[in-house]
């Protein structure tokens, strides 16, 4: 019986994820036991509630299976211990002068945030908050949008701006994960007071990626109190999220209504012009001299996030300096292809090609894959076949199947014929080249 708690722990350690075990079971001490009862000491009330609500069954079942009968498990809360502050937590850097030396990334400023119609409103709101934090209408400010679109950048820009204006401003910036970790660790170490002090004494609280609060009720609870406290004191709160608050699952209603009570602004993926602007700016920052057509090419194909645009530039830079080669169209193409996935033809089919040829020649798609041998129709068909071979690299057989079950010699004949005509017939040469360029552009 003496070792029963150790035995239970061994079992739990095997059955639970290690972070859960380390967080919630390592700190528990055995106080006493009889053969009908086990008394365990937990660091605090919250800990007890957490264990009761999350692990009650695991503990009871494990105990029962080891002892062979039902046993009563009771908890007692350890007397509060004060542990001096360490410097490697949220309270990091709590030294001299401004004790709130926040973890701001100095590179993220308003001045290097490139504005486009996709982020104009978010940027304006962020700047307004930075200029007069705590103003009712923009409090809280919630910026939401997809990955890599500049939410974190704006959040840090606000912090940097405020700090620039007022060196003593107490700015606390944390991801919601860090907030959660700090909260849990403060509970484990009985330092909830310090936790509150740090977060609730902020002039400006910047919380990144609040979607991680989903389903973490205790943390939400804590955040709710922190939030109210600050809000009532007229302190500014800014949050980012990758989705709208109402799209978050497992968010308590009252927190949801808090999130929505201020201003919610979104950032959309950048449009073409903004992508060009971002690429040129980032290229310049990196001392990279890019021909304009390559910039357009990149902006055409890399669409989803600013982070991707940025990393394409970095990759180009790496390539050209490592292999000591000029950045020309081929290199850019290669890098873009690589970024979009392995250089294999993507997202294009014989249908796409036929469609494009049909648009250009005004011959219907049906006619192109049909059997008419009339000159303009047969020519459009042969051009389509040639392009399938050139762009998709399809086999003669496959192409034959796509074009109404023609055999491979017919396909080969079509390819040869067009190859020849390109050289001698300007009109066809031009048509095929421009179609090929068009399609290749959309391909990569
Ligand atoms: P998110 O937090 O929305 O996922 P980030 O703020 O981390 O995105 O942005 C990803 C990268 O793109 C960062 O390096 C950031 O500086 C850069 N970035 C994003 N938007 C812009 C912009 N409008 N102008 C300049 N750089 C930007
Ligand atoms: Mg981010």
Angle separating helix axes 329-341 and 306-322, nearest 10 degrees: 130
For ligand 1, atom 19: residue with the closest CA? 150
**Protein fold of 87-267:** Rossmann fold (3.40.50)
For residue range 25-52, what is the model confidence (pLDDT) as tens digits? 888 888 888 888 889 888 776 678 778 8
Q: What's the pLDDT at 260?
A: 85
Domains 4-77 and 272-343 share a fold: no
For residue range 299-318, what is the model confidence (pLDDT) as tens digits? 888 888 999 999 899 888 88
Q: How far is the CA of 144 from the centre of ligand 1 (A)?
A: 13
Q: What's the pLDDT at 94?
A: 38
- Which range, 87-91, 222-226, 434-438, has the best average confidence (pLDDT)? 222-226
Closest atom of ligand 1 to CA, residue 155: 6
Q: How many CB atoms lie within 10 A of CB 442?
A: 14
Q: Is the pTM of this model over 0.75?
A: no
Sketch the domain layout of the chain as residue ranges.
4-77, 87-267, 272-343, 350-439
The answer as to CATH 3.40.50.720 being correct for domain 272-343 is no
User: In the structure, what pLDDT confidence band is assigned to residue 157 with cuts at 50, 70 and 90?
Assistant: very high
Which of the listed residues 152, 153, 279, 282 should we mutate to test ligand 1's pocket, taking the one with most ligand atoms within 8 A of CB? 153
Q: How far is the CA of 407 from the centre of ligand 1 (A)?
A: 52
For residue range 93-121, what is the model confidence (pLDDT) as tens digits? 333 445 566 789 999 999 999 999 999 99
CATH of domain 350-439: 1.10.1750.10
* Euclidean distance between CA atoms 65 and 77, whole angstroms: 26
In the predicted model, what is the mean pLDDT of residues 242-260?
87
* Euclidean distance between CA atoms 81 and 27, whole angstroms: 14
- Our answer on whether the CB atom of 113 is closer than 6 Å to any ligand 1 atom is yes
Which of the listed residues 210, 307, 311, 312 should we mutate to test ligand 1's pocket, taking the one with most ligand atoms within 8 A of CB? 307
Q: How many CB atoms lie within 10 A of CB 288?
A: 17
- Our answer on whether the CB atom of 306 is closer than 6 Å to any ligand 1 atom is yes
DSSP assignment string, 33-70: E-SSEEEEEESSHHHHHHHHHHHHHHHHHHHHHHHSS-
Q: How far is the CA of 292 from the centre of ligand 2 (A)?
A: 30
Q: Give the number of the ligand closest to the Cα of residue 311.
A: 1
CATH of domain 4-77: 3.30.300.180
Rounded percentage of the chain residues whose pLDDT exceeds 90: 39
For residue range 334-380, what is the model confidence (pLDDT) as tens digits? 888 877 765 444 457 888 899 999 999 999 999 999 999 999 999 99
- Our answer on whether the CB atom of 389 is closer than 6 Å to any ligand 1 atom is no
């Amino acid at each position: 019986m003496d070792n029963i708690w150790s035995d239970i722990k061994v079992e739990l350690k095997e059955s639970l994820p290690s972070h859960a075990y380390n967080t919630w079971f390592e700190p528990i001490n055995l106080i006493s036991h009889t053969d009908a009862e086990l008394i365990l000491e937990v660091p605090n009330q919250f800990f007890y509630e957490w264990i009761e609500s999350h692990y009650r069954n695991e503990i009871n079942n494990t105990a029962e299976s080891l002892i062979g009968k039902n046993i009563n498990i009771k908890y007692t809360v350890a007397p509060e211990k004060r542990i001096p502050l360490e410097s490697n937590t949220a309270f990091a850097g709590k030294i001299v002068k401004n004790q709130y030396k926040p973890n701001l990334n100095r590179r993220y400023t308003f001045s290097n945030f490139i504005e486009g119609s996709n982020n104009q409103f978010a940027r304006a709101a962020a700047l307004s908050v930075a200029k007069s934090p705590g103003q009712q209408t923009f409090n809280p400010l919630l910026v939401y949008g997809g990955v890599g679109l500049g939410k974190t950048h704006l959040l840090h820009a606000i912090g940097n701006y405020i700090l620039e204006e007022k060196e003593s401003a107490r700015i606390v910036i944390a991801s919601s994960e860090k907030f959660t970790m700090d909260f849990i660790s403060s509970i484990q170490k009985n330092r909830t007071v310090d936790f509150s002090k740090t977060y609730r004494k902020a002039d400006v609280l910047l919380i990144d990626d609040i979607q991680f609060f989903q389903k973490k009720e205790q943390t939400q609870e804590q955040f709710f109190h922190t939030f109210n406290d600050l809000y009532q004191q007229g302190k500014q709160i800014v949050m980012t999220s990758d989705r709208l608050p109402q799209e978050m699952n497992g968010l308590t209603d009252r927190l949801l209504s808090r999130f929505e009570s201020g201003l919610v602004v979104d950032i959309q993926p950048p449009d073409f012009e903004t992508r060009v602007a971002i690429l040129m700016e980032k290229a310049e920052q990196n001392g990279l001299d890019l021909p304009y057509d390559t910039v357009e090419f990149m902006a055409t194909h890399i669409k989803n996030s600013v982070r991707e645009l940025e990393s394409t530039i970095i990759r180009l830079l790496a390539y050209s300096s490592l292999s000591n080669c000029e950045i020309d169209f081929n290199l850019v193409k290669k890098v873009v292809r690589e970024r979009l996935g392995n250089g294999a033809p993507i997202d294009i089919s014989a249908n796409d090609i036929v469609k494009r040829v049909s648009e250009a020649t005004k011959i219907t798609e049906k006619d192109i894959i049909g059997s008419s041998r009339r000159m303009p129709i047969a020519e459009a068909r042969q051009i389509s076949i040639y392009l399938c071979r050139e762009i998709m690299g399809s086999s003669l057989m496959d192409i034959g199947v796509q074009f109404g079950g023609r055999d491979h010699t017919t396909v080969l004949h079509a390819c040869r014929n067009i190859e020849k005509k390109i050289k001698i017939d300007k009109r066809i040469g031009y048509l095929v080249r421009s179609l090929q360029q068009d399609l290749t552009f959309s391909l990569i």
